[in-house]
Amino acid sequence: MLNSPYEKPYITPPAEHPRVMFRESDKKRIIGNFAHPENRRAYELWQRICKKDFRQFYDDIGAGRYNLMVCLMIEAKAFEAWVEDDDQKARDIIDNTKKIVELFSSDRNINLMLCRHTGHIVFVVSLLYDWLYKYLTQEEKLFFIAKCEQFLEAGMEVGYPPVKQRNTHSHSHEAQYLRDMLAFSIATYDERPDIYNFIVGRIIADLVPFYKFSFSTEIHNQGPSYGAYRHVSVLWAQLLFYQMSGQKIFDECVENADGYYYLTRADGESLRIGDDCNDDKGGGYVVKHPFTVVHFFAAALTGNAAYKKYYFENYRDEVMVPTHYGIDLYKDNTYGEGLYSPVCHLVFNLITQTFTPKPYEKARYFKYPAGITIYKDEVKNTTVYMKIGELWCQGHEHYDTGDFQIYHNGILVSSSGAYYWYGCEHFYNYDTRTSSHNCLTIRDPEVKTLGQITEWGKTFDYINDGGTRMPKPTTDYNLEPDLATAWQRDCQMAKVLSHSEGDNGAEIVGDLTQAYSHTCDKVIRKMSFDATLGTNGVFTVEDEVTAKSEDFIKCFHLHTMEEPKIIGNEITITHKGGELRCTVIEPKDASITAIGGGDNRFTTVGIPVPSDKTENRECGWGKIIISPTDKAKTHRFKVRMEILDVEL
């Protein structure tokens, strides 16, 4: 029995079965919607999975390995037996699942997806347990509970019971207990209410207040890749509670997916922000429209027609039933833990009445803790991203306070580097660092390194790139009484001083002094976009920097996909069908240097920090560094960037 440190949850499962994903009273609605045009493809794929034979996967099953299709088959066949109320089909899938569970081993399933694979196994077993509850013997119930607890104890990073990992970031924001343990606890509530009380107790005590704070900004703090992925897990929990009880556990701010619209560029790809897996994994399957799955879940909960439109316009079968290998880092599956499936679609789609929201405005400000403004013009294929970055989120966010990106017919100014793995020097000394973004660096030339780090048996020095401070949390944030306060205490980086948004442009001004407090007394950055100037608008960045010493080296960074042209104080950047004509107005007589290509593609203060993996589609050519040529504590930067078209 699990001894919960939490008060008894205020949402308890109703008496009726089934109650994971739907209730018995939903059966008529679900079956009635099978023929709905929005469900037609999901229905066809569900039927196709039901016809598959487990013998096709005996090698994996016999070896105790996770197989995504096997999990989808357990889910699909259990759902089929429930829909048809078929005794024989129920008995067949129960018996097959018992064999699979008997053979599966968390201990032998050794790879980086252990907790995700294990969690998915537990999840589909929980569905079968609940949907086919009346067909299970008491012995079978005890068997499935015991095996699932054994898997959770062996395979969960958050622990079982879940007491590990920070509540401000980390894998605890994925499916481990927001979907897998939660579903297990709901399914087994009659036999083991202690499991539910512990799992739900942590969700209510820790994540309910924290998500109300962190999601209130309407853009996920973990970026386009991890943010969208982890957002789906939060929406899973919201749906599981809502379908079980009619109550929503999280504030409705978690159901807002507007930020993904603004992060989606005209080419269907996302802006590259933080640790981003979307552009170098998947062989093309997840590069375009990577937010399709999160839009389905948000549409299911809200009925928002804009979310539903995004989903249906960008849907492809590989999203619902991944059939190929190699879509990501992990060789044995695609999305890893089946966050979405035909059964999921058939159950959750159309549970909420559709409504048409007001049109998206061209400019949107995403408030604290983000402090981000994005201007997006669909007609002109232009996106301008302006980040002050008031709070550093820790998980998968880079040290990019004050960053900006410009897209017009192609990415003109973006982040640089190749994210593929923690532990390599490229990750720590280039990809995540301030100097690989369109930010300021202020460097003490006497300080060459910032200490050492050891990862995966390798030790290397942190190169001093003059970037922002790198916050170090003072606690592990496990089960703290006020997570938001603890997060803000350690990770505050900047403050938005003013912002304005409209169809004709946007502006944001921020005080970045906290981020540069180790090298500067004052750093102010102003970013403004005027859509009425020139052909496609003009973006201007103005900085005021007061360093602690006149000897500190101040640099303004621009990162490009192609080699730029520099003539005097004019810089021309081109990529695909876009051009950026930059004029360095301040400092006067600035030093303007382009560094890139070949071995210089990725450099930190002139030191090459190569990547072993460069198929990332937007690693970049290199950078432009703008610096004053005179010595003084205070300098101003002003760079005007006119957006133009280029004939291809």
pLDDT tens profile 471-502: 887 665 455 546 677 788 889 999 999 999 99
Domain residues for the domain of 67 are 24-348
465 found inside a domain? yes
Domain count across the chain: 2
**Residue 561 scores a pLDDT above 80:** yes
Which H or E run contains 78?
helix 68-84
Residue 362 lies in a domain: no
One domain, residues 441 and 528: yes
Instruction: With respect to residue 536, please indicate whether it lies within any of the assigned structural domains.
Output: yes
pLDDT in tens, 432-447: 999 999 999 999 999 9
pLDDT of residue 332: 40
Residue 6 within any structural domain of the chain: no
Q: Does residue 459 contact residue 581 with C-beta atoms inside 8 Å?
A: no
17 inside domain? no
- The answer to whether residue 391 sits within a structural domain is yes
Cα separation, 172 vs 168, in Å, equals 9
Are residues 167 and 117 part of one domain? yes
Condensed to tens digits (0 to 9), the pLDDT of residues 1-29 reads: 898 888 888 888 887 777 899 999 999 99
Q: How far is CA 279 from CA 39, 386, 598, in A?
A: 29, 21, 21
Q: Which residue has the higher pLDDT, 166 or 361?
A: 361
Task: Indicate if 432 and 522 belong to the same structural domain.
Answer: yes
The verdict on 228 and 103 lying in the same domain is: yes
**Cβ–Cβ < 8 Å for 493, 403:** no
Is residue 109 predicted with pLDDT exceeding 60? no
Q: How many CB atoms lie within 10 A of CB 640?
A: 15
Query: Looking at residues 333-362, what average pLDDT do you find?
Result: 86
Instruction: Check if the beta carbon of residue 391 is closer than 8 Å to that of residue 378.
Output: no
* Predicted local distance difference test score (pLDDT) of residue 320: 85
Greater model confidence, 212 or 334: 212
Closest CA to 384 of 409, 405, 411: 405
Beta carbons of 172 and 166 less than 8 angstroms apart? yes
Burial grade of 42 (CB within 10 A; 0-12, 13-18, 19 or more): buried
Residue 196 has pLDDT above 80, yes or no: yes
Give long-range contacts, CB 8 A cutoff, 24+ apart: 218-221.
Answer: 218/253, 218/256, 218/258, 218/259, 218/366, 218/367, 219/259, 219/262, 219/263, 219/366, 219/370, 219/372, 220/259, 221/369, 221/370, 221/391, 221/393, 221/395, 221/397
Residues 315, 425: one domain? no
Sorting pLDDT into bands at 50, 70 and 90, what band is 178? very high
Domain boundary among 279, 314, 348: 348
Q: Do 466 and 613 share a structural domain?
A: yes
- Torsion, Cα of 413, 417, 421, 426 (10° steps): -150
279: left (phi over 0), alpha (psi -120 to 50) or beta: alpha
Q: What percent of the chain has pLDDT over 90?
A: 73
Pick the residue with more confidence: 291 or 329?
Answer: 291
Tell me, what CATH number does 231's domain have? Answer: 1.50.10.100
What's the mean pLDDT in 138-147? 98
pLDDT of residue 317: 85
Looking at the fold, whether 164 and 231 belong to one and the same domain comes out as yes
Q: Are residues 167 and 254 in the same domain?
A: yes
DSSP for 289-307 reads -TTHHHHHHHHHHH-BHHH
Residues 341 and 382 reside in one and the same domain: no
Kindly report which listed range (88-97, 164-173, 601-610) carries the lowest average pLDDT score: 164-173
Same domain? For 322 and 373 the reply is no
Residue 19 lies in a domain: no
pLDDT at 279: 67
Amino acid 329: pLDDT: 34
Write the CATH number for 508.
Answer: 2.70.98.70
- How many beta carbons lie within 10 A of that of residue 268, not counting itself? 12
Quote the pLDDT of residue 293.
Answer: 92
Judgement on whether residues 486 and 379 belong to the same structural domain of the protein:
yes
Looking at 320, 348, 376, which one is the last position of a domain?
348
Interval 232-278: pLDDT, tens: 999 999 999 999 999 999 999 999 999 999 999 999 999 999 988 77
Using 50, 70 and 90 to split pLDDT, how confident is the model at 68?
A: confident
Average pLDDT along the chain: 91
The radius of gyration computed from the CA coordinates of the chain, to the nearest angstrom, equals 26
Among residues 387, 396, 402, which one has the least CA distance to residue 468? Answer: 402
Do 417 and 277 belong to one domain? no
Dist CA 177 CA 132 (whole Å): 22
E-only strand ranges, 20-134: none
Residue 168 in any domain: the answer is yes
